[in-house]
Amino acid sequence: MSFAAVIILTGALTAASCSLVGCFLVLRRMALVGDAISHSVLLGIVAVFALTGARSGPLLVVGAAAVGLLTVVLIEAVRRTGRVREDAAIGLVFPALFSIGVILVSRFPNSVHIDVQHLLYGEIAFSPLYRVELWGADLGYRSLWMLGGMTAANLAFVVAFYKELKLATFDPALAAAVGLSPVVVHYALMAMVSATTVVAFDSVGSILVVAMLVVPPATAYLLTNRLATMLTLSVLVGTASAVGGYLIARLLDSSTSGAMAAMAGVLFATALLLSPSQGLIARRRELARLRRGLAERLLLTHLDGGHGAGDRTTLRERFGWSARTEATVVRSALARGHVRAEGSGRLVLTEAGRGAAGEIGVG
């Protein structure tokens, strides 16, 4: 496998594992919690290293997941005091845990391998350099094993608990009332987010992790009305960001993780503008269409009421329309056959127009 393929695949697996759980963070309005967890897990990594000397492996994932859960519990505890709002609670908890992690790193001279710089920015470009060996046999690239495993675990989690995740996210009160504890679902999700974060940022750095937890899901949210489709689309958007980001990084000779995260941002902006249902452009068109419809109804009821003589300057004065608005409205009403123009330029309601105006009267 070429180095390029390893790097792209590492990015794509990061995107897939992060966005699967990230969709539920976004839907639960907890995007920032992902950010918090991805920082505070540093404490878990250092603690496991200090206790066991392990710098990778399952123990590290467990330790990080534990600190991730601790983060969530602390945020909830601070929020519950009723003295601090949730956003402030998040902002209070994770820097505290993160900074304890940073202090511990600097206290362990042997921990040079835990490089804070590396954890934050990562260098996915080095991912082809680390391989897995077991009893002397070379098993392949470490990042692919780790992230492939995490993606499989997250996929299994989301598929197995799809119904529970959906209900606990949409209506936690009903979930609790029917015995599908939303608290259990919540902490299970947070544990998966924590594990994903630590596994992923070992290979790609936490900036890309934070981006992939939030940006592809937020993009997918704009493109569909179905949860299953949102999950699939977010994985596709994330993968596209990884591929596109890699190419841009090659072109600009820049940070690969950074380019992948930026690419995700570009895709989001595109969806925000162009999404057929929820994009800004579609929304603006829809709004303009509604306004025109309203103006046309005003015109029809005006003519139907026998007010004015359909004289076009009176229309402008009566409704405060600009000449352009008036022209558009009249053109549209003529095209629909709701009104017709007489020789003098006066507008007269047609039979169809009278019918349309009548409907409005009743409605």
Partner 1 sequence: MDDATPAGAFPVEIRDLTVAYQSRPVLWDVDLAVRPGRLTAVVGPNGAGKSTLLKAMLGLVPAASGWVKVFGEPPARQRRRVAYVPQRGSVDWDFPTNALDVVEMGRYGSLGWLRRPGRADREAAIACLRRVGMDAFASRQISQLSGGQQQRVFLARALAQGADLYVMDEPLAGVDAVTERAVVALLQGLRADGKTVIVVHHDLQTVPSYFDEVALLNVRLVAAGPVEDVFSPENLQATYGGRIGFLDAPGAKATAASAAD
Select 104 or 233, whichever has its Cβ closest to partner 1.
233
Judged on CB neighbours under 10 Å (0-12, 13-18, 19+), 92 is middle
Select 114 or 180, whichever has its Cβ closest to partner 1.
180
DSSP assignment of 199-263 equals HHHHHH-HHHHHHHHHHHHHHHHHH-S-HHHHHHHHHHHHHHHHHHHHHHHHHHT--HHHHHHHH
Select 113 or 226, whichever has its Cβ closest to partner 1.
226
| Residue linked to tokens 């007269």 | 348
Select 229 or 254, whichever has its Cβ closest to partner 1.
229
Beta carbon of residue 176, minimum distance to partner 1 (angstroms, whole number): 5
Helix (H) and strand (E) counts for the chain? Answer: 16, 4
C-beta of residue 18 within 8 angstroms of C-beta of residue 231: no
Beta carbon of residue 66, minimum distance to partner 1 (angstroms, whole number): 24
Contact footprint for partner 1 (CB under 8 A): 27, 82, 160-164, 166-167, 169-171, 173-180, 221, 224-227, 229-230
Beta carbon of residue 352, minimum distance to partner 1 (angstroms, whole number): 27
105 CB-near residues (< 8 Å, 6+ apart): 42, 46, 111, 114, 116
Select 3 or 162, whichever has its Cβ closest to partner 1.
162
Size of the chain in residues = 363
Select 134 or 362, whichever has its Cβ closest to partner 1.
362
Beta carbon of residue 224, minimum distance to partner 1 (angstroms, whole number): 6
Judged on CB neighbours under 10 Å (0-12, 13-18, 19+), 252 is exposed
Token couple for 188: 């299970």
Beta carbon of residue 157, minimum distance to partner 1 (angstroms, whole number): 12
Beta carbon of residue 164, minimum distance to partner 1 (angstroms, whole number): 7
